[in-house]
Amino acid sequence: MINYFFFVAEELREIMAVLGFRTVDEMIGRVDKLDMKKAISHWKAKGVDLSRILHQPQRKPGVAIHHCESQNHELDSALDHDLIAASLPSIEHGQPVRLERSIRNVDRTVGAMLSGEVALRHGHAGLPKTPSPSVSPAPPANRSGLSWRGAFRWNW
């Protein structure tokens, strides 16, 4: 396996040298280096228009085209921290817990961290069927964005 990846890396270095790149970072966003003639002339690609995907807009000065700065996703203020703390009796001791919380538009991944906490403590099996934390959005939450169901039960 190690030899395989060694050869893949070596071949990648050779291809990059032919294209004039020293690093993979230099390759990011360089659609001008793609030769699509062979792919487009293939019978399976007949009629496929890749121009919108391969379009390279004008670069604005000072605007990066790849990840070069860290972002603050404000996870410290995520609703899940409250859900985890309130669900601990159920997660740790199997006691029934029923929660009702207001869910706002910025709470796009409600339950993901809670589910991760359950998986961390109970593995793939998750919580026992009963009891498990019951989490309900307080009315009038928009439930259309909350289709994910984790290791706990959503009550709505």
What number is the average pLDDT over the span 53-60?
Answer: 82
pLDDT at residue 139, rounded to an integer: 59
Both structure tokens of 15: 């291809």
pLDDT at residue 154, rounded to an integer: 43
CA distance 18 to 83: 54
pLDDT at residue 140, rounded to an integer: 53
Mapped onto helix, strand or coil, the DSSP state of residue 100 is strand
User: Mean pLDDT for the chain?
Assistant: 80
Amino acid letter, residue 128: P
Task: Name the maximum alpha-carbon separation found in the chain.
Answer: 64
Q: Give 16's pLDDT tier (boundaries 50, 70, 90).
A: very high
Task: Report whether 137 contacts 102 (CB < 8 A).
Answer: yes
CA distance 53 to 55: 6
pLDDT at residue 150, rounded to an integer: 38
Q: Residue 142 above 80 pLDDT?
A: no
Q: Residue 143 above 60 pLDDT?
A: no
Q: Give 73's pLDDT tier (boundaries 50, 70, 90).
A: confident
Phi and psi angles of residue 28, each rounded to the nearest 5 degrees, phi first:
-65, 130
Task: Report whether 120 contacts 110 (CB < 8 A).
Answer: no
Amino acid letter, residue 32: D
Q: What is the Cβ-side half-sphere exposure of residue 138, based on CA atoms within 13 angstroms?
A: 6
